[in-house]
Copies of this chain bind each other. A is one copy, B any other.
Amino acid sequence: MNADRATVRDVAARAGVSPSTVSRVIKGDYPVAQSTKTRVLRAMRELDYVLNVHARALSGASTKMVAFVLDDVTGPSFAYVAKGVEQQATAEGRLCMVCATNGDPARELAVVEAMREQRADAVILVGGGALDDAYRERMSHFAHALDKAGSRLVLCGRPPLGDDVPTTVVEYDNEGGAFAMTSHLLSQGHRQIALIGADHPGQASTTKLDRVRGFVRAHESFGVAYDPDLIVPAGFGRADGHTAARRLITLGAPFTAVFAATDMVAIGVLAALREAGLRVPEDVSLAGYDDIPFAADLSPGLTTVRIPTEELGRTAVRLALDRRQSQHVVLGTHIVVRGSVGPATPR
């Protein structure tokens, strides 16, 4: 009743050769007489033979698998990183595993552990990532373990764990993008720019930190003082932006532009502004970050910072599988100007 798939032994018997020979025909790296090869191939076809990757992996071969670990499969920009990963993995003859952690560090560690069990060729971690020491230490441990096993831990869009930790790091210039966008807003005459999506006091996220840093540096570079009250902590979702913007409006804060820390936040902000009867960009300018596909389809089109998502994913896989290359890469970001930012108008 149960599954009895054909094995090399079955194929060998049918073709009248030894299992070794069948294996050699499959791999093709050893001379096999043409006539024998033909017989074996026919037997394989007739028996509908399918290789067992577990048996192969057990006898030493690579698993031809890369693992991709992210917060949330539905995150609009992560999907593009995933695409890059999948593409490059396919191009390099690898299959691709995906795990979502839902932002839970404990689950992330469990997932990485599972990937170790799977003997993945590479484990790619995307986005966020906690900053506390216990977590970093455990992650370093994994990096070393994977390295010792001939595998690789890749940090994609998150900061390095330290110089002595064997990882591959693929980042993008988060701070630079924030700097460029803030400069753009300042050059349009805005002097009261609200930044929505900074850190909450308790928890630190490097993504948020870097974006705030770029925001601050641009102000300094323009010799403009910024209002700390306009740097408001918020999550990275639509609802977060909506809530934060509404509170800002209710409080009567004096901003002429909003720099949302993500496009999703910007969408929430946009809704809040609309509800308050404020026009974009006539009354308030709005900028985002990420350049998600729909940024262009909002009205007005969202001026935002483009991050090279697909390339991030592709690079991560490429570097992980070819260790001869540099193992720390920072990809560039640039601003995309659409309609949501205009000259400052006093209110």
Contact = CB atoms under 8 A, between A and B. Distances in A.
A53 B293 CA distance: 39
A80 B75 CA distance: 10
A74 B52 CA distance: 31
A39 interface: no
Interface stretch (A30-38, A112-120, A319-327): A112-120
A80 B298 CA distance: 21
A249 interface: no
A280 to B, nearest CB: 10
Contacts of A95: 97, 99, 114, 118
A5 B149 contact: yes
Given A54-B63, A297-B271, A80 B74 contact: yes
Number of copies: 2
A3 B298 CA distance: 52
A52 B5 CA distance: 22
27 contacts: A4-B148, A5-B148, A50-B116, A50-B117, A50-B145, A52-B58, A53-B54, A53-B117, A53-B118, A54-B57, A54-B119, A55-B58, A58-B58, A73-B79, A73-B86, A79-B79, A86-B99, A95-B99, A95-B114, A96-B98, A98-B98, A238-B297, A267-B294, A270-B297, A271-B297, A297-B298, A298-B298
Interface of A: 2-5, 48, 50-55, 57-58, 63, 68, 72-74, 76, 79-80, 82-83, 86-87, 90, 95-100, 113-114, 116-119, 145, 148-150, 238, 267, 270-271, 274, 293-294, 297-299
